[in-house]
Amino acid sequence: MNFNVLPSLVALAILVVVFRAILRQGAAERLQLWLTAWILVLIHFVAQFVDVGHGPWDHVASAVSLGAVELASIAFLISMSPRASNRRRQLLLGAVLGLPALAYTTAVVWELTAHSFYYGVVVVALTATSLLAWNWYRETPSYLFGLLLASVVFSSVLIWMVARNHADLGINVILAGLNFVVAVLYWRHFQRATAGVLTTVFGFVAWGAVFPIGMFLDLYSPSTIVESETWNIPKYFVAVGMILTLLEDQIHKNEYLAYHDALTGLPNRRLLEDRLEQALAHAARAGRKVAVLLLDLDRFKEVNDTYGHRIGDLALQQVVLRLSSRMRASDTLARSGGDEFTVVSDVSDEHGADILLSALESALAVPLKVEGQFIQTGVSIGVALYPDHGHSPDELRAAADHAMYIAKRGARSSENVIAFPQSPA
């Protein structure tokens, strides 16, 4: 057994446990692919650990070790591919990239010398990759051209190496190319200069650079001895960078949820308060009015009681879509309660507020259709205008709430009533 690999084996085992623990907190498909990739890297080290260095077992261990690290790089690539959006496409991309890579590597490990076999594998890989790229990216010619050009250059290098009887060096080209592509895709996906993203991108670039550097040293400086742990440092950069990226995403999500409703994505009370104060300050400077509308859905409790909360949540999401479609982009729609919403809109006069009221009232005139069920709900709306009915957020909310209560009472015996509070004497 190769005990020199033991530190890396232990470190990767710990990383797999860490990623598995993170995966339990949120089963994102990308994270599942990352975990799969790290398990494959762990298998790579296990194969190196049990490699005795001679006999048929040496070939088996080498094939498993190299194949596992190639598949790991492909798993990382699939996780970042913009078009591998479902399991079928992921498997297709994995097969197009993985099968030729494994066939080429296995042939090298078992010392196959037939050039025609390697040429055939490269041609098949180039053809399959080109067809897949054409199918997925023909609507973006620049991206398609870049993929095709890279594939042709990559394939040409492999064929040149085979022709010069250096097919074994082609494995280095495959691994380097995969990691360089992953580095590009990782940056394209996140596009932010944070510690996590930059560390991961640097790690993949360094991981890819390991192979041509090692190849250069073997050819031109065979006396140079580099410890195996040195070559493995880029892997740890990638692992740490990915964990940092996940932490950054979680922090961003927590910040978002601190100001937005988790179900609808609308601003919550905290963000609504800030938006309302900004609107009042702007209106005071510009001499305009601000309409504060309090919307309460009628009979919505019956929807939850009849169809269940899951259908009720889906219905709420449809309500938000309809209300949003009746508003301007500059208006604020916030969820201020279970089935209660608040709208803040900059208007020139009471007539502008009345137009918005009519638009919002008509939003729920047609029943909602949720999973085959037709759901009818109405809306009672109370409105307060700044500065007519109050000068502070609390005064305006109280006035709108009073008006909405009047509208709610009217809705019990007739159509929805839209009530303005009485102006203070």
Q: What is the DSSP string of 326-394?
A: TS-TTSEEEE-SSSEEEEEEEESSHHHHHHHHHHHHHHTSSPEEETTEEE--EEEEEEEEETTS-SSHH
Q: Is the pLDDT of residue 418 over 80?
A: no
Helix (H, G, I), strand (E, B) or coil at 109: helix
Q: Could you tell me if residue 339 is inside a domain? A: yes
Distance CA(191)–CA(198), nearest Å, equals 10
Alpha carbon separation from 405 to 221, 297, 398, 409, 412 (Å, rounded): 85, 12, 11, 6, 11
* pLDDT mean over 285-299: 91
Alpha carbon separation from 117 to 38, 112, 245 (Å, rounded): 31, 9, 41
Region class of 343: left (phi > 0), else alpha (psi between -120 and 50), else beta = beta
* Range list of β-strands (E), 243-356: 289-298, 332-335, 340-347
Distance CA(10)–CA(260), nearest Å, equals 42
Give residue-wise pLDDT tens across range 89-115: 999 999 999 999 999 999 999 999 999
Distance of CA 418 to the CA centre of its chain: 42
Q: Report pTM.
A: 0.79
Q: Could you tell me if residue 264 is inside a domain? A: no
Identify the pLDDT of residue 16: 87
Q: Could you tell me if residue 425 is inside a domain? A: no
Residue 316 banded pLDDT, cuts 50, 70, 90: very high
Which is nearest to 64 in space by CA: 54, 53, 51?
Answer: 51
| End residue of a domain, out of 237, 259, 281 | 259
Same domain membership, residue 281 and residue 254: no
Q: Could you tell me if residue 199 is inside a domain? A: yes
Same domain membership, residue 335 and residue 255: no
Same domain membership, residue 228 and residue 80: yes
Residue 2 banded pLDDT, cuts 50, 70, 90: low
| End residue of a domain, out of 259, 284, 317 | 259
Same domain membership, residue 71 and residue 133: yes
Distance of CA 284 to the CA centre of its chain: 41
Same domain membership, residue 212 and residue 126: yes
Same domain membership, residue 283 and residue 237: no
Distance CA(327)–CA(357), nearest Å, equals 10
Residue 291 banded pLDDT, cuts 50, 70, 90: very high
CATH at residue 392: 3.30.70.270
Same domain membership, residue 277 and residue 237: no
- Per-residue tokens: 68: 């596992």
Same domain membership, residue 337 and residue 233: no
Residue 25 banded pLDDT, cuts 50, 70, 90: low
Identify the pLDDT of residue 190: 93
Same domain membership, residue 58 and residue 180: yes
Q: How many domains is the chain built from?
A: 2
Q: Which structural domain, as residue segments, surrounds residue 390?
A: 269-419
Q: Could you tell me if residue 390 is inside a domain? A: yes
Same domain membership, residue 297 and residue 332: yes
Q: Could you tell me if residue 28 is inside a domain? A: yes
Q: Could you tell me if residue 154 is inside a domain? A: yes
Distance CA(29)–CA(72), nearest Å, equals 15
Same domain membership, residue 274 and residue 254: no
| End residue of a domain, out of 217, 234, 259 | 259
Same domain membership, residue 211 and residue 135: yes
* pLDDT mean over 201-219: 91
Q: Could you tell me if residue 391 is inside a domain? A: yes
Identify the pLDDT of residue 420: 53
Query: Is pLDDT larger for residue 77 or for residue 8?
Result: 77
- Alpha carbon distance, N-terminus to C-terminus of the chain: 92
Give residue-wise pLDDT tens across range 136-179: 998 888 888 989 999 999 999 999 999 999 999 999 999 999 99
